Amino acid sequence: MKKVSLAVMALLLVIVAVLAACSKEKQDAQSSASPAPSASGASPAPAADIAFPLAAPITLNIFASKNAAVKKDFKEMLAFKNLQQKTNVTVNWRLATAGDESNQKQSLLIASNDLPDAFYGAWVFSEAEIIKYGTEGILIPLEDLIKKHAPNLQKVFQQRPELEKKLRAPDGHIYTLPMVQEDPHANMPNTMLINKKWLDNLNLKMPTTIEEFREVLLAFKNGDPNKNGKKDEIPFSFIGKGHHILGFSGFTGVFGKVVAGPLKNLSVTNGKVEYAPVTEEFKQFLTYMNGLYKDGLIDPEAFTHDNNVYYAKFRNKERIVGAGFAWSPFGINQVPDADGDYVTLPPMKGPGGKDPLWYMWEPTHSLGAFAITKVNKYPEITMKWIDQMYDPLTSYEMAFGPKDVTFKQTAGGKYESIPVPSGMTANDFLYGEAPGANFVGAVLKEFRSQFAVDAATQSKIDAVKITLPYAPKEIYPALIMSGEDSNKLTDFNMAVETNQISWIAKFIMNGNIDKEWNDYVKTFQQAGMDQAVALYQKYYDSYKK
């Protein structure tokens, strides 16, 4: 019986070996005959040797978060038609307007496991979502694909090594690709303006300290600087609801700490992170502003009017505003009767002659602008396809429209914008053939330097030359944090946002700052300020290593 069993076992082993060999021959034959079929029924290029245009087309299904100004389907846009012709990759786009609509549809797709091959669009994923969906396996790690198939993006990383550091999740993986739009003059969005004609009419000098500024505002109030015989002057106006361009963000730095709020009001000095709205420097700012308000020097509607009303006051033919904030003087003076009344007011010295700071932010970028999902059958080709958008010229075309449509190259080799056609709005022109603000790619300042400078840009360049010497030495960067930590910080910022605006308005208009300061600080502490600052510090320390 024992001998029979051994014989049978030997025979079975032979049969298994033969079947395995036959199976391998069949698989090898199938593999050498053709690669896996594409979504269009044809065969894609081998992943290890991708060359565009592909010999046979493939189709990708991509969910895209689009700007509200976009009216066309992406497939009808010239920018994407050009890309399809170049790559032989067809895209079935599923579009949703950025904001609530995009967030809801994206969440529904993920919850129902109805995943696209990729997600596209600046800010399509928040930092918390990157971690959540990456660690859950919904988004695949991209670092190896980048090394093999993304030479354009690798060049961006070489130029901006800090960008690759920011994209790394705490587990070491890169789950998303960025959108970067560098404007060498846009990092300081807040320009303080003063009516130069009023100064001249009253024989006043440009103020260089906050004490001199107060005296100038008093003269504006009482001296009829617009010479119309009316008491219609508004010495100082702004948008008081935390606006980073039309608000007082930059002016807070004159007192030593920039409060750019209400979200992520972080001040960094010698590596130490502070929550700026509760610092002694900000208390001094509020006290100073309350003094101006009590003397009737601040627009009584500063905390209630909207942007349109604010601009209308500056552009009034009678010229009724003395000082305020804007993107640049051009943003205020660009009216039919423009006469250059408003000029940049250099940052003034603070209390006791303290050197000022001025509000500066990072270049515009989104860390969660593109991701490849686990259902994608062609991750290598998808990476090679999206990498085309990190070519400098292609990036610019995706952001601002195709070459020879919205901009052109001059005989001298420079680029210049093409004027908006008559009867078309600027948005219709910009977003007609490209995704615009929600594009994926990297427009770096080196490429933008090849463009001719128009009047609006020159105005901003001149303004930034004045404020740039006062930029903070350290700025808290956008960082990818763990899902749990990111949620804690989001909860904190949401809890304090409304409170901060209301407290600031109350302090500036009503005073009682010394009496109520401790209660003000407690609102932040009760919302978790100390824990939030500790988390911000932890990630900043890790980033700086």
pLDDT of residue 5: 39
Per-residue confidence at 339, pLDDT binned at 50, 70, 90? low
Give Cβ neighbours of residue 244 (< 8 Å, ≥ 6 apart): 189, 190, 260, 359, 361
**Could you say which DSSP state residue 341 is in?**
-
Closest alpha carbon to 532 in 241, 275, 270: 275
Q: Report whether pLDDT(336) > 70.
A: no
Q: At what angle do helices 379-387 and 151-159 cross, to 10 degrees?
A: 50
Closest alpha carbon to 178 in 209, 151, 155, 156: 156
How many angstroms from the chain centroid is the CA of residue 195?
31
pLDDT of residue 261: 65
Interval 280-324: pLDDT, tens: 999 999 999 999 999 999 999 999 999 889 988 988 888 899 999
Q: How many CB atoms lie within 10 A of CB 48?
A: 8
pLDDT of residue 387: 98
The pTM for the full model equals 0.76
Closest alpha carbon to 85 in 388, 406, 377: 388
Which residue has 């308005």 as its token pair?
505
Give Cβ neighbours of residue 10 (< 8 Å, ≥ 6 apart): none
pLDDT of residue 19: 38
Q: Report whether pLDDT(67) > 70.
A: yes
pLDDT of residue 493: 85
Which residue has 């009829």 as its token pair?
224
pLDDT, greater one: 397 or 4: 397
pLDDT of residue 48: 55
pLDDT of residue 263: 59
pLDDT of residue 241: 83
Q: Answer for the pair 397, 179: CB distance below 8 angstroms, yes or no.
A: no
Per-residue confidence at 361, pLDDT binned at 50, 70, 90? confident
pLDDT of residue 128: 84
User: Given its phi and psi angles, is residue 88 left (phi above 0), alpha (psi -120 to 50 degrees) or beta?
Assistant: left
Percentage of the residues of the chain whose pLDDT score is greater than 90? 69
Cis bond before residue 53 (omega within 30° of 0) = yes
Mean pLDDT over residues 131-152, rounded?
Answer: 96
Percentage of the residues of the chain whose pLDDT score is greater than 70? 89
Written as six digits, the tokens of 513 are: 């700052």
pLDDT of residue 398: 97
Phi, psi of 154 (to 5 degrees): -60, -35
**Could you say which DSSP state residue 168 is in?**
B
Written as six digits, the tokens of 58 are: 């493939």
Q: Answer for the pair 116, 109: CB distance below 8 angstroms, yes or no.
A: yes
For 186, 390, 469, 534, the CA distances from 463, given in Å and listed in that order, are 10, 30, 11, 36
**Could you say which DSSP state residue 245 is in?**
T
pLDDT of residue 13: 38
Phi, psi of 420 (to 5 degrees): -65, 125
Extract the runs of DSSP E, i.e. beta strands, from 432-473: 441-443
Q: Report whether pLDDT(20) > 70.
A: no
Per-residue confidence at 334, pLDDT binned at 50, 70, 90? low
Per-residue confidence at 27, pLDDT binned at 50, 70, 90? very low
Helices marked H in 34-169:
78-87, 100-111, 127-135, 143-149, 151-159, 161-167
In total, the chain counts a number of residues equal to: 545
pLDDT, greater one: 37 or 242: 242
Handedness of CA 118, 67, 454, 180 (dihedral sign): negative
Per-residue confidence at 333, pLDDT binned at 50, 70, 90? low
For 182, 192, 361, 412, 505, the CA distances from 446, given in Å and listed in that order, are 9, 27, 19, 17, 41
pLDDT of residue 24: 38
Q: Report whether pLDDT(349) > 60.
A: yes
Burial class (CB in 10 A: 0-12, 13-18, 19+), 484: exposed
pLDDT of residue 479: 87
Phi, psi of 89 (to 5 degrees): -105, 120
pLDDT, greater one: 384 or 411: 384
pLDDT of residue 242: 73
Per-residue confidence at 114, pLDDT binned at 50, 70, 90? very high
Q: What average pLDDT is seen over the chain?
A: 87
Written as six digits, the tokens of 140 are: 């695949």
Render 174-220 in DSSP notation, one character per residue: B--EEEEE--TTTS---EEEEEHHHHHHTT-PPP-BHHHHHHHHHHH
For 56, 58, 66, 182, 409, the CA distances from 41, given in Å and listed in that order, are 9, 8, 29, 41, 40
Q: Report whether pLDDT(183) > 90.
A: no
How many angstroms from the chain centroid is the CA of residue 256?
26
> What does the H/E/C string look like for 220-244?
HHHCCCCCCCCCCCEEECCCCCCCC
For 373, how many CA atoms within 13 A lie in the half-sphere containing its CB? 20
Return d(Cα 525, Cα 487) in angstroms, integer.
17
**Could you say which DSSP state residue 369 is in?**
E
Per-residue confidence at 41, pLDDT binned at 50, 70, 90? very low
H or E segment at 74? none
Q: Report whether pLDDT(30) > 70.
A: no
Closest alpha carbon to 95 in 71, 112, 117, 130: 71
Q: At what angle do helices 392-400 and 78-87 cross, to 10 degrees?
A: 150
Interval 422-465: pLDDT, tens: 888 888 898 999 999 999 999 999 998 898 887 778 888 899 99
pLDDT of residue 538: 94
Mean pLDDT over residues 65-79, rounded?
Answer: 94
Phi, psi of 192 (to 5 degrees): -90, 130
Extract the runs of DSSP E, i.e. beta strands, from 207-357: 234-236, 266-269, 272-275, 321-326, 342-344
Return d(Cα 237, Cα 225) in angstroms, integer.
16
Q: Answer for the pair 164, 157: CB distance below 8 angstroms, yes or no.
A: yes
Return d(Cα 414, Cα 29) in angstroms, integer.
55
